[in-house]
Structure 1
Amino acid sequence: MIKLKRLFNSNLVLILIILAVELILLEIFMPNFISFRNFITLCRQSSITAILAIGMGIVLISGGIDLSIGAIVAMLGMAAAKLITDFQIPATAAGFIIIIFGSLIGLLNGALCARIRIHPFIITTALSVIYRGTANVFNNGRPVYGIPENLLRFDKKTLLGIPYPLLILFACILIASYILRKTYLGKYIYAIGLDERTAEYSGINAGQIKMIVYSLSGFFYGIAAILLLSKVGSAQPTATISIELDLLAAAAIGGIGFRGGRGHILNIVIGVLIIEILGNTLIIFNVGEYYRYIFKGIVLLTALFMDGALRQNRVKPSKI
Structure 2
Amino acid sequence: MTEPARYLSSAQRTIRMEAEAVAALESRIGGEFEKACELILKVSGRTVVTGMGKSGHVGGKIAATLASTGTPAFFVHPGEASHGDMGMITADDCVIALSNSGTTPEVLMLVPLLKRLGIPLISMTGAPDSALALASDAHINTGVDVEACPLDLAPTSSTTSTLVMGDALAIALLEARGFTAEDFAFSHPGGALGRKLLLKIDDVMRHGKAIPRVSEHTPLADALLEISAKGLGMTTVTAAGNDELLGVFTDGDLRRALDEQVDIKNTHIGDLMTRSPATVHTGMLAAEALRIMEERHISALVVLDEEQKIAGVVNLLALLEAGIA
For the superposition of Structure 1 and Structure 2, which TM-score range results when normalised by the shorter chain? under 0.3
Bigger helix share: 1
**Larger Cα-atom Rg:** 2
Provide TM-score, normalisation by structure 1.
Answer: 0.21
Higher RCO structure (Cα 8 Å, ≥6 apart): 1
Say which structure is richer in strand.
Answer: 2
